[in-house]
Each structure stands twice: as C-alpha cells, then as structure tokens.
Amino acid sequence: MALHTSVAANSLTTSNLPPLTSMTSCESFPLATAKVGENLVIVEVKGGHSTRKRLMAMGMADGTVLKIVKHNHTELLVSVDHRRFSLDIALACRLIVSPTDLS
C-alpha cells in the first residue's frame, strides 16, 4: 500500500513564512578572507585547545577587535591592541570574524 501525502497549493504561499531580515550587520566569515584596512571582531575560534591557547597568548579570543594591516596568499598581518601579529592562512581560517563600527 502506497502512502500519499497531499498539500493544498494555497497553503504554500509566502504569507505563511516569517519575514526575511537583513543579515548584513551580523555576517561572519573567516579572517583569511578579510581585506586590508578592515576592523573586525572575533566572534568564534574554531579549533582545539592548543589553537585557542596559542591565540589567547596573542590576545585573540571571542570579542577581540583587530585590524588587517597586510594580507597576501600565505599570511596576514593583524593589529591587536597596538601590537602586530603574523598569522598563517591556516590559522586565519580558524578565526571567524564580523565587521565592527570602528573607523
């Protein structure tokens, strides 16, 4: 015996869906994709204990504000609290950031 499911065509309208909201102000992305001059805030650190410990030693954790000073295909130079750090791309991919209002 086959099981059939039917849905009324009028029940699939957009009026039944919640309104879409703009995600522009809260978009997050890997630090490795950031552009020079951007001010960003760390929203997540992906990785294990040793990765987090290494980043914490540099003053980088959730909520830390940083600025991209230089970016090439192998590394990023970032400024955190008037200190500069070089991060390889693999490590920069583990830092999830979001834009901040700082100029």
Over residues 68-90, mean pLDDT: 94
**Options 3.30.930.10, 2.30.30.90, 3.30.70.260, 2.120.10.30; which CATH number does 27-99 get?**
2.30.30.90
- pLDDT of 72 above 50: yes
Question: Which range has the worst mean pLDDT, 19-23, 41-45, 52-56?
Answer: 19-23
Over residues 23-47, mean pLDDT: 87
> Can you give the pTM of this predicted structure?
0.71
Read off the pLDDT band of 25 (50, 70, 90): very low
d(CA 76, CA 89): 7
- pLDDT of 21 above 50: no
Residue 102 pLDDT: 63
Domain boundaries, the chain: 27-99
